[in-house]
Structure 1
Amino acid sequence: MNIFKLSRILICVLLISSCKEASKTEVAQPEKTLENKSASSTDETISEPWTAEQLVQPVELAHQIEAGDSLIIFSLGAGGIIPGSMDTGPSGESDSLKRLAAELEKLPKDSEIVIYCGCCPFDICPNVRPAFNLLNSMGFEHHQLLNLQENIKVDWIDKGYPTGSPSL
């Protein structure tokens, strides 16, 4: 493994650790959607801003990248691990969300967009919901969220999917 790849993995691990620590004290854990609800949770749910159809599985995105499909991929907090992704910073922070909005303003509303974070599990992630809500409010028609249930290391890197440099 080359030094660049090793350093990217180390950065990812540090981001995951810091997100988990922050989530213990700063982020209230939202309830899961009906699609992701466990048997132990209550019947009440908070609706997510995405639909089940808007979740793209890691293996599917990896195939799309390898096939050279025309996608616009934004990293929302995991440091741009996925090749070609634009790292706009953690969307749970105002400045980063503004940076994402500025990038989105340059795009046609029918662009194929995938967003991901991967700092921590979906149910406590502070970044995916603000970004997805932004895409919805800006009227994008074809946007998806990479379904990283645990984090970018477990659901992407450890599975051997492609990694690379961010473009922002």
Structure 2
Amino acid sequence: MEKHTEKAKTQIQQEPWTQQQLLEPKELAQVLQSSEDSLVIISLGAGGIIPGSRDTGPSGEKEGLNTLKKELERLPKDSDIVIYCGCCPFDICPNVRPAFALLNEMNFTSHQLLNLRDNIKVDWIDKGYPVGN
């Protein structure tokens, strides 16, 4: 029994985010409707589908991760940041983990990952949430 618990803890600890750092799409859509200006939304590969998001390119690739780093260097460490990709199912996305790990390494204190379990189409567009910049 203890081995099973340890294995579960190890699997959970492999993700660079906590459960509290996952933001549900519905919550972000509500924030966008209330015109929250201070929120920084960064697209990591889905092409800036969410209004107001900054597209830094695929962070699973060195060039995209460097672009993200340059973007983050301009921001205060306490900026409210939401990152998302949505190119593919969340559990195999090559972009969200390197990007979130970078935010952690750079000591940001208020960052979240948009919880797009399937992809941007299923979890955002098909639900009627706002699109376009």
Q: Which amino acid counterpart does residue 20 of structure 2 have in structure 1?
A: E
Q: Which amino acid counterpart does residue 87 of structure 1 have in structure 2?
A: D
Pick the aligned partner of 2:117 from 149, 157, 161.
Answer: 149
Deviations 1:21-64 (A, max 9, x none): xxxxxxxxxxxxx9xxxxxxx75625200000000000000000
Q: Give the % identical residues.
A: 69
1:121 deviates by: 1.0
Report what 2:11 is aligned to: 45
Report what 2:101 is aligned to: 133
Q: 1:112 & 1:45 partners in 2: Cα distance?
A: 27
Q: 1:141 & 1:81 partners in 2: Cα distance?
A: 25
Q: Which amino acid counterpart does residue 35 of structure 2 have in structure 1?
A: G
Q: Secondary structure at the match of 1:161?
A: coil
Pick the aligned partner of 1:87 from 17, 42, 55.
Answer: 55
Q: 1:73 & 1:152 partners in 2: Cα distance?
A: 14
What is the Cα-based RMSD across aligned positions, in Å? 1.4
Pick the aligned partner of 2:34 from 64, 67, 77.
Answer: 67
Deviation >2 Å, runs of 4+: none
Q: 2:62 & 2:115 partners in 1: Cα distance?
A: 23
Q: Which amino acid counterpart does residue 109 of structure 1 have in structure 2?
A: K
Q: Which amino acid counterpart does residue 26 of structure 2 have in structure 1?
A: V
Report what 2:21 is aligned to: 54
Could you state the TM-score of these two structures normalised by the residue count of structure 1? 0.72
Aligned residues: 125
Report what 1:123 is aligned to: 91
Deviations 1:74-101 (A, max 9, x none): 0000000000000000000000100000
Deviations 1:105-138 (A, max 9, x none): 0000000000000001111000000000000000
Report what 2:76 is aligned to: 108
Q: 1:159 & 1:123 partners in 2: Cα distance?
A: 20
Gaps of 5+ in 1: 1-33, 35-41
